[in-house]
Structure 1
Amino acid sequence: MRNTTLRMAALAAVAAFALTACSGNDGGTDRADEVAANCDNSGDPNTVTVYSGRTEKLVAPLLNSIGPDVLGAGVKIEALYDQKPVKVLEEGGKSPADVWFGQDAGELGALAANGYLSELPAQVLGAVPAQYADPGKRWVAITLRSRVLAYDPRQIPAADLPGGIDGLVDEKWRGKIGYAPTNASWKSFVTALRVLRGEDGARAWLQKFKAVEPVEFDKNSAVLDAVDQGRLTLGLINHYYWFMKAAAQGADNVTAKIHYFKGSEEPGALVNIAAAGVLTCSDNKEAAAKLVEFLLSARAQQYFADETGEYPVIANITSKHNLPTLTELSPPAIDLNQLSSVSETEAMLRDVGLLK
């Protein structure tokens, strides 16, 4: 009976999260007051607990390098990786989390809309261009990443690649395209598709995409591996997966290449963010804010630029990777808070049959 009750409570939390996430950041401040009134965090005030939607492989080397010069003497970091934002809502005011470090704008927007993120200090928000910080002051971008098309040059020359996502629904690609339907980056792409083309336009493209029988994978890295091994011709991923693979194996040992879609009206050219915010019920907001500020330091930004191949969000950081500039890509100018309607995206994907 107890297990059934817990499952029902979790389902109710997920439903509440989904409903409020649809509304973007509207009402987030009022909800933050409600959340703050019910905080009951009994964690260690000398520990900054990070819930990371990002993987341990990407983030741990940097977090593990942080010393007392950043957070203060006696303050340590405890990180939990591969987390989902709904966990915060399920835990409510008892959540031990101090910082959410997410891989997607939609995650941060949904948490802010539900009142689970507090305002960040001005020096943190002011470290990045305005378009990469929440107007409500509750999250800030840490890195940028572009959607790309991975391809096998043995099967298709670069000159014959489709110019945009509409070229991916051609019958000739039946069973030859990989994607990761449960990954946050795919869902953000579909949300951007909804923003740019409207509900009917997004649904029409998804139905055509499903008709060519794309191949499902759990992760972007698995999509890239399948293309690299010649098991697929094309794959939809984020750009940095290729650069990490090239760094690990040597670029000459990676067969797959990546193609950047371009254009202000092209959903496939979406540039999304990894972002961070301080939880409303954090029992160490000062140290938590210092951690977010550190993620925007030259040291941290250089790490992401070189080790993960992501775009930095502060000036004067040069990556060792040969990345096209964001000006060259000319991505869609989407308000990143609009990507918070993840639940509506998931509902559409299930209705179309692209998400279980």
Structure 2
Amino acid sequence: MSPALPTSLSGRGNRRSPARSLLAAVAGAALLLPALVACGSDDQGPETGKGNQDASAEELVIYSGRNEELIQPILDRLEEAAGVEVSVRYGDSAELAAQILEEGERTKAGLFLSQDAGALGALSKEGLLEELPAGTLEGVDPAFRSAGDDWVGVSGRARVVVYDPEQVAEDELPQSVHDLTEPRWKDKVGYAPTNASFQAFVTGMRVLEGDDTTREWLTDLQANNAQQYDKNTAILDATDKGEIELGLINHYYWYQKLAENEDAVTSRLHFLPGGDPGSLVNVAGVGITAHGGQSEAALRAVDFLLAEEAQLYFAEETKEYPLAAGVASPVEDLPSLESLEIPEIDLTDLDSLQETLALLQETGMV
């Protein structure tokens, strides 16, 4: 029997500079969250490559926060299509952004490929990314690129509620993440506070609703005995087994599992309406470094990553949303990006990871 398909859509104050904040956040994460991984993969590994020490105009050094297994095949195609010799340094997006911030004008990176918008935002706010030409940007909705035109999203991931239809009727589904602190959901919600995708969502809530509201929600969620997991995949598996009634994950984990083992998927997805913080769409994106000296080659790489071949590669391999205009996702039954009721937020402001980690620690989640 085929599994059930997803349901249809039913101010910060003064702070330290993003450079110091991100560096401190990375250091804090090393102490607080030894299992922290990039949100596009529950098992993101450590750095496996090194930057090119003698980059020329036709060579491109990429610092990649996306894991090697996923990104290397499309970078091999980039070398062919763009005529660029590519070398890659792999690692966690926040750590690589902190490295570029530390290197400054000495950086060897020509292009930064980030797993999330926050790391790009930190570099943008320090003036370490080049402005991209209008012709490159115009094919991507402004919601998924920098307001300063210096980074652009390549693929998107939506926050969703995964639920067990045997225990939750459609008319019972929450209409906001704030509903999850109600007695109806006591003991029945799964979340992953040490996972980077959850932390990006919490950062989005802070930006949209303020620290006080976010702190109250985190406190109330724990008081409602929400169940903690290490990974999005663990939340999904627990929901499919009926161990919890619903959980907070990114959409593509469900579609990946469906493609791998349809019989194991009994859950459904619910996309929250009304621009709720729980409907955040974060992006993996790219920016050309201001001091890498590889602008021409880097721009060819950006244009390649926004072209149909690369856009379909990410859509097929990860089930993320393609972001370039005119490229439709081939994933069956995935609601269109245009149909989602996402919050109005400048994704650059997801750079405040340090403040989010501090809040999670303060509320006892990490």
Deviation at 1:100, TM superposition (A): 1.6
Q: What is the CA deviation profile of residues 141-192 of structure 1, one whole-angstrom value per residue up to 9, with x for unaligned ones?
A: 1122211011223333333222211221124434432222233321221122
Segments of structure 2 that go 5 or more residues without pairing to the other structure are 1-16, 26-51
> What residue identity is the alignment partner of 2:109?
A
Structure 2 residue matching 1:203: 3-state secondary structure: helix
Measured after TM superposition, the shift of residue 323 of structure 1 is: 1.7
Mapped pair 1:188 → 2:200: yes
Say which SS state the counterpart of residue 236 (structure 2) adopts.
Answer: helix
Residue 179 of structure 1 corresponds to 191
Compared with structure 1, are the counterparts of its residues 81 and 328 closer, same or farther at alpha carbon in structure 2 (3 Å cutoff)?
Answer: same
The 2-side partners of 1:210 and 1:20 are apart by: 26
Q: Mark the CA change 1:50 to 1:212 in structure 2 (over 3 Å): closer, same or farther.
A: farther
User: Does the aligned pair in 2 maintain the 1:150–1:259 contact within 8 Å?
Assistant: yes
Equivalent AA in structure 2 for residue 197 of structure 1: E
Q: Percent identity?
A: 42
Residues 330-339 or 203-212, more deviating: 330-339
Report the more deviating stretch, 77-86 or 141-150: 77-86
Is the counterpart of residue 282 in structure 1 residue 292 in structure 2?
yes
Structure 2 residue 101 is the aligned partner of structure 1 residue 97: no
Q: Is 1:318 matched up with 2:332?
A: no
**CA offsets 1:196-240 (integer angstroms, 9 cap, x no match):** 222221221111012123333333233223323333332211111
Q: Distance in 2 between matches of 1:309 and 1:145?
A: 9
**Unaligned residue ranges in structure 1 (runs of 5+):** 1-12, 22-40
Cα RMSD between the aligned structures?
Answer: 2.8
- Among candidates 222, 225, 231, match of residue 210 of structure 1: 222
CA distance in 1, matches of 2:225, 2:64: 32
> Whole-Å Cα distance in 1 between the matches of residues 99 and 237 of structure 2?
30
Q: CA deviation at 1:334?
A: 1.4
Q: CA deviation at 1:332?
A: 1.3
SS in 2 for 1:274: strand
User: Normalization by structure 2: what TM-score?
Assistant: 0.78
CA contact (8 A) 1:191 1:345 kept: yes
- Contact 1:20/1:113 (8 A) holds in 2: no
Give me the whole-angstrom Cα distance separating, in 1, the residues matched to 2:255 and 2:67. 16
Alpha carbons of 1:49 and 1:154: their partners in 2 closer, same or farther (altered >3 Å)? Answer: farther
Among 308, 319, 325, the alignment partner of 1:309 is: 319
Give distance in 1, aligned partners of 2:322 and 2:291. Answer: 29
The residue aligned with 2:74 is 62
Paired residues in the alignment total: 321
Cα distance between partner residues in 2 of 1:267 and 1:214: 18
Task: Give yes or no for contact 2:66–2:93 (8 Å, CA) kept in 1.
Answer: yes
**In structure 2, C-alpha distance between the alignment counterparts of 1:158 and 1:132, rounded to whole Å:** 30
Q: Could you tell me how far apart the structure 1 residues matched to 2:111 and 2:240 are?
A: 36
| Shift, 1:20, TM fit | 10
SS at structure 1 position matched to 2:149: coil
- What amino acid maps onto 2:296 in structure 1? E
Which residue identity lines up with residue 349 of structure 2 in the other structure?
A: Q
CA distance in 1, matches of 2:241, 2:300: 43
Secondary structure of the corresponding residue to residue 242 of structure 2: coil
| Higher helix fraction (1 or 2) | 1
* Alpha-carbon distance in 2 for matches of 1:245, 1:64: 27
When residues 201 and 18 of structure 1 are mapped into structure 2, their CA distance, relative to the original with a 3 A threshold, is: same
Q: 2:20 aligns with which of 16, 19, 25?
A: 16
* Partner residue in 2 for 1:199: 211
Paired residues of 2:93 and 2:116 also in contact (CA < 8 A) = no
Instruction: Work out the CA distance in 1 between the residues paired with 2:189 and 2:60.
Output: 41
For residue 168 of structure 1, the aligned residue among 180, 190, 193 is 180
Letter in 2 for 1:324: P
1:108-187 matches, within 5 Å, as 108-187=120-199
